[in-house]
């Protein structure tokens, strides 16, 4: 009985909801966030579970039957779509698709070209913790220079500034900021608070800060301290062994520090406790790089280097180099079954001493100078070990003919000395070399002895006698 009335009520409620949906779609503002609620309402209207698009409504058809009204909620074929507008949800979906396409386009790799922009010079003080904090560009050159008190601030200047020639605070670098310049700046900041008394202060061993810095190989700190001590006139202060900072640098083979110290005015013609000059130390230890650094640094300027200075043993630097080379030759001769490493090491040492000999001769040292104790020349010293390598080097010089027959204080020539050797391996070859270069086998020493009278017995001695008689072909 009440079924038709219930159906009618349900139909009226559905029509009321459909009208509300149409009014909502017409009133909906763009950009609203209510599309979810609309879609929910539309889905509620679809009781049959059919797929209806937004804006489509159900047709409410009423039929009269015997029992009353019948309600048909199925969509009719003649259903006309309402006026359709874009919903907020669709707008958001369209915007999301557009945004995704833009992100995909931006994520693709693109070729980028560097953009060059002029960098204005920053004249404000900066605190640098590493060399990368200095802003260098191709349009500006920076040339650091220390002021009078050796304090360097990290300030960029638009144009290169040439340091005074007499200060030598910073070495010339071609207008570039190098790592060495930056290190000098850092060390200058640390040392700016040192007073003259502190800079020149010596410890119990007589070492100054400069001595210690040089011994540790700290070049930048040594440069800053040397600049200060040069202004105070104490660059050549000696420690307890009578060695200056330059001699410490030579003993440790710090050839770059040697060049820096010489540029500040360090004295090279100075002796230590044993009467050795820096050249003597280089020659004794085979530090040919330090020797070459001295030669290059003082070439054409400053006081001349005394290459003929004698130490307290009466030896010049060239004498010391020859005796050191002889020591290596002697060590090689006494080796029994040496390992390849030992052979290579000794060969390297020999080459170092030969370089020292060549460098000293290039600086003007004479191999004909006699030592003060026995009157030996470098030729005599090389003959004592049948040192073929050095004999060749000396006898190839232009004035070798005048030096080949020079006598010692005992009247012995180089031929006397090499003839008296006790069956050395290269003895015969050394005698032959001297004879070919003008050595006189008829000269006598103060004991009225000829070279042939000093030859020992044995197979090697027999060969030497034949050579002294001029019979080279039979040997």
Please compute, for residue 87, the number of CA atoms within 13 A of its CA located in the half-sphere on the CB side. 19
Kindly give, in sequence order, each residue whose CB lies less than 8 Å from that of residue 303, ignoring residues fewer than 6 positions away. 269
Helix axes 388-395, 427-436, angle to 10 degrees: 10
**Average pLDDT of span 167-176:** 55
Give the residues across from 62 on adjacent strands.
71
pLDDT at 284 over 60: yes
CA 263 to CA 273: how far, in whole Å?
A: 25
- 298, 209 Cβ separation under 8 angstroms: no
Q: Distance of alpha carbon 222 from its chain centroid, rounded?
A: 18
pLDDT at 79 over 50: no
- pLDDT computed for residue 336 by the predictor: 83
pLDDT at 474 over 60: no
Lowest mean pLDDT among 65-79, 236-250, 268-282, 336-350: 65-79
* Nearest of 332, 348, 361 to residue 286 by alpha carbon: 348
pLDDT at 397 over 80: yes
pLDDT tens sequence across 235-280: 999 999 999 999 999 999 999 999 999 999 999 999 999 999 999 9
Lowest mean pLDDT among 44-53, 240-249, 327-336, 414-423: 44-53
Location of structure tokens 């005796």: 323
- Residue 322 CB burial class (10 angstroms; 0-12, 13-18, ≥19): buried
What are the C-alpha distances in Å from 278 to residues 200, 268, 295, 308, 309? 22, 6, 12, 12, 10
- pLDDT computed for residue 317 by the predictor: 98
Residue 149: pLDDT band with limits 50, 70, 90: very low
- pLDDT computed for residue 7 by the predictor: 52
Residue 64: pLDDT band with limits 50, 70, 90: very low
- 371, 314 Cβ separation under 8 angstroms: yes
pLDDT at 147 over 60: no
- pLDDT computed for residue 459 by the predictor: 87
- 443, 415 Cβ separation under 8 angstroms: yes
Query: Hey, is 373 helix, strand or coil?
Result: coil
Instruction: Report the predicted TM-score, pTM, of the whole model to 2 decimal places.
Output: 0.64
**Average pLDDT of span 129-156:** 35
Residue count (the chain): 475
**Average pLDDT of span 7-27:** 53
CA 379 to CA 408: how far, in whole Å?
A: 11
Task: Give me 295's structure tokens.
Answer: 């030669």
CA 58 to CA 50: how far, in whole Å?
A: 11
- Residue 457 CB burial class (10 angstroms; 0-12, 13-18, ≥19): exposed
Strand-pair category, 68-72 with 61-65: antiparallel
Q: Which CATH superfamily is domain 366-475 in?
A: Ankyrin repeat-containing domain (1.25.40.20)
CA 458 to CA 313: how far, in whole Å?
A: 36
CA 309 to CA 316: how far, in whole Å?
A: 6
* Nearest of 285, 288, 243, 236 to residue 261 by alpha carbon: 236
CA 148 to CA 209: how far, in whole Å?
A: 20
Q: Where are the domains of the chain?
A: 3-97, 366-475
Kindly give, in sequence order, each residue whose CB lies less than 8 Å from that of residue 188, ignoring residues fewer than 6 positions away. 146, 150, 151, 152, 224
Give the residues across from 61 on adjacent strands.
72
Q: In 10 A of CB 76, how many CB atoms? A: 11
Query: Hey, is 72 helix, strand or coil?
Result: strand
pLDDT tens sequence across 414-473: 999 999 998 888 899 999 999 999 999 999 999 999 999 999 988 888 999 999 988 765
CA 394 to CA 318: how far, in whole Å?
A: 12
- pLDDT computed for residue 85 by the predictor: 53
Helix axes 288-297, 255-263, angle to 10 degrees: 20
- What percent of the chain is modeled with pLDDT above 90? 53
- Residue 227 CB burial class (10 angstroms; 0-12, 13-18, ≥19): buried
- pLDDT computed for residue 321 by the predictor: 97
CA 46 to CA 24: how far, in whole Å?
A: 18
- pLDDT computed for residue 57 by the predictor: 42
Radius of gyration of the chain (CA): 50
Task: Give me 391's structure tokens.
Answer: 């004999």
CA 407 to CA 454: how far, in whole Å?
A: 16
- pLDDT computed for residue 8 by the predictor: 55
- 410, 446 Cβ separation under 8 angstroms: yes
- pLDDT computed for residue 99 by the predictor: 67
* Nearest of 380, 447, 367, 441 to residue 407 by alpha carbon: 380
Give the residues across from 68 on adjacent strands.
65
């Amino acid at each position: 009985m009440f079924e038709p009335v219930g159906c009618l009520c349900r139909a009226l409620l559905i029509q009321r909801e459909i009208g509300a949906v149409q009014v909502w779609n017409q009133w909906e503002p763009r950009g609203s966030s209510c599309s979810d609620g609309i879609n929910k309402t539309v889905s509620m209207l679809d009781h049959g579970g059919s797929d209806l698009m937004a804006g489509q409504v159900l047709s409410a058809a009423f039929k009269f039957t015997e029992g009353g009204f019948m309600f048909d909620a199925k969509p009719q074929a003649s259903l006309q779509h309402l006026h359709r507008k874009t919903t907020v949800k669709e707008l958001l979906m369209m915007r999301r698709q557009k945004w995704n396409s833009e992100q995909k386009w931006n994520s693709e790799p693109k070729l980028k070209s560097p953009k060059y922009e002029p960098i204005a010079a920053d004249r404000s003080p900066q605190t640098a913790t590493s060399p990368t904090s200095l802003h260098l560009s191709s349009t500006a050159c920076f040339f650091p220079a220390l002021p009078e008190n050796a304090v360097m601030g990290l300030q960029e200047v638009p144009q290169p500034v040439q340091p005074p020639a007499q200060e030598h605070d910073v070495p010339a670098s071609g207008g570039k900021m190098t790592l060495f310049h930056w290190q000098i700046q850092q060390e200058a900041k640390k040392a700016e608070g040192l007073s003259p008394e502190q800079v020149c202060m010596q410890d119990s061993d007589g070492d100054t800060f400069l001595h210690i810095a040089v011994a540790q190989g700290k070049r930048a700190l040594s440069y800053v301290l040397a600049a200060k001590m040069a202004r105070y006139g104490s660059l050549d202060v000696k420690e307890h062994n009578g060695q200056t900072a330059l001699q410490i640098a030579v003993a440790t083979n710090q050839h770059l520090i040697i060049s820096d110290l010489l540029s500040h005015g360090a004295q090279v013609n100075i002796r230590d406790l044993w009467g050795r000059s820096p050249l003597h130390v280089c020659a004794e230890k085979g530090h040919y790089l330090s020797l070459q650094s001295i030669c290059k640094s003082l070439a054409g300027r400053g006081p001349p280097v005394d290459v003929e200075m004698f130490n307290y043993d009466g030896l010049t630097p060239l004498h010391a180099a020859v005796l050191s080379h002889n020591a290596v030759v002697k060590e090689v001769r006494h080796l029994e079954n040496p390992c390849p490493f030992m052979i290579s090491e000794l060969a390297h040492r020999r080459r170092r001493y030969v370089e020292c000999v060549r460098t000293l001769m290039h600086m003007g040292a004479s191999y004909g100078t006699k030592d003060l104790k026995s009157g030996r020349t470098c030729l005599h010293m090389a003959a004592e070990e049948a040192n073929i390598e050095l004999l060749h080097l000396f006898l190839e010089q232009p004035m070798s003919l005048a030096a080949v027959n020079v006598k010692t204080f005992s009247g012995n020539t180089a031929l006397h000395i090499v003839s008296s050797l006790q069956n050395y391996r290269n003895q015969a070859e050394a005698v032959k070399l001297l004879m070919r270069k003008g050595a006189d086998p008829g000269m006598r020493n103060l004991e009225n002895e000829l070279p042939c009278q000093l030859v020992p017995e044995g197979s090697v001695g027999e060969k030497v006698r034949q050579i002294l008689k001029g019979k080279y072909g039979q040997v």
